[in-house]
Amino acid sequence: MLNPTSLAHHLASDMNLHRYQWQAALVEAERAIALEPNNAIINLQMGYVLIMSGNPDNKDEYLYITDLKIFPFTPLD
């Protein structure tokens, strides 16, 4: 791909997940986040990739960020 966008990397990550290619999905998700770190959907994808690849320890960082981006005015309990 010439000059892939964050959406292209996000979709490539999703396709790799459906093919059970965890490492390739993780690489594409990382590239998508590098291009657009404030995108809530891409952060959610990264959390899902980490869960599916068997590395759920770091998922909270991405899923928590996603919650704040989607619902920024929700008080924290």
Taking only the tens of pLDDT, the chain with its 77 residues reads 688 999 999 999 999 999 999 999 999 999 999 998 888 888 888 888 888 888 767 766 666 655 555 555 545 54
Any domain includes 42:
yes
Please report, to the nearest 10 degrees, the dihedral formed by the alpha carbons of residues 31, 71, 61, 33 taken in order: 10
41 found inside a domain: yes
Residue 1 lies in a domain: no
Q: Which domain holds residue 65?
A: 6-70
d(CA 63, CA 6) in angstroms, rounded, equals 18
77 within some domain = no
Joined together, the tokens standing for residue 54 give 């068997």
Kindly state whether residue 61 falls inside one of the protein's structural domains. Answer: yes
pLDDT value, residue 24: 96
- Specify if 75 maps to a domain: no
For the chain, the residue count is 77
CATH of the domain at 36: 1.25.40.10
Domain count within the chain: 1
